Structure 1
């Protein structure tokens, strides 16, 4: 591992400080914005079309762009993955998780929001999802990431299902 500022080899993995230039490196969680689209005690799940966890069910969502608030990222991801506008509801919670990417296990800070569809027909992005289904909030399938399991449980409690 090398210092991103001066290029010098680091003495140890982050968190550390570069001995050459003094640059402090940390392992920071990457924020996400995710949706729990719900209706009549059910939530919308998408089957992942790509790794990691291809083939498992997930909630719509993704990483925040630079300087993007998690709520804005959740709405954007809804538009990109579902092809519709969503109405953002209450904040469900933040959960620390992990995401395997480019040979690394990255820490993530997953931010979940309740949401509803605005009556439009969902059109999945085939690069992201191979199918969709509605599941009872109190009986979710195995989800791709532990943070999703926790968020669905908390959403079910919040919504009284």
Structure 2
């Protein structure tokens, strides 16, 4: 089995002993229990005054070249709302105003040759569009799409969240 920390782990993260099965399992050498838990992420559905959402073209793998919403992984013990604010600053170069919570979605993310489970948390947000300064290491371009007619996004959780975001936006009294 390979040296890995996700679903294909072959060795114990605590003692280095060989595992007899893939996680969830217990190490036969030290008894340490290994689980594959979803990694939390925080993402933004940034809306403009016309009800369009902000999409970024990914500059990095996986899924380089496809559209995505701003966001990323939560740091250890970081609340998803705080991670969403941080990711907004890092990727958009601007302060983000977090609005309502959209939902959580289970998905997958390929990292270091492993397919890892993720738990993606999505929030509505607003920004000053004129102040956006993309991080070129993260995104090559931005555009605004109609929330009711989004393109195929880089990750399935984004597709799901945008469907729910459109439904939620329509249910609000002001439509915003």
Q: Same fold (TM over 0.5)?
A: yes
Larger RCO, structure (CA 8 Å, separation 6 or more): 1
- The whole-number CA distance in structure 2 between the counterparts of 1:9 and 1:119 is 52
Q: 1:2 is matched with which residue? A: 11
**2:156 is matched with which residue?**
146
> What displacement does 1:119 show?
5.7
Which of 37, 43, 61 matches 1:34? 43
> Residues 1-161 of structure 1: matches in 2 within 5 Å?
1-39=10-48, 40-118=50-128, 121-160=131-170
Deviations 1:9-63 (A, max 9, x none): 0001100011111111001000001000012210000000011000000000000
Q: TM-score, normalised by structure 2?
A: 0.89
**Residue aligned with 1:75, SS:** helix
Check the 8 A contact 1:48/1:129 in 2, yes or no.
yes
* Greater strand share, structure number: 1
Q: Report the Cα distance in structure 1 between the residues aligned to 2:72 and 2:34, rounded to whole angstroms.
A: 24
For 2:16 and 2:65, locate their aligned partners in 1 and report how far apart those are by CA, in whole Å. 39
Unaligned runs of 5+ in 1: none
Question: What SS does the corresponding residue of 1:43 show, helix, strand or coil?
Answer: strand
Distance across 1 between alignment mates of 2:167 and 2:35: 35
Q: Secondary structure at the match of 2:47?
A: strand
Alpha-carbon offset, residue 118 of structure 1: 4.0
Q: CA RMSD in A?
A: 1.0
Q: Give the count of matched residue pairs.
A: 161
- TM-score of the superposed pair, with normalisation by structure 1: 0.97
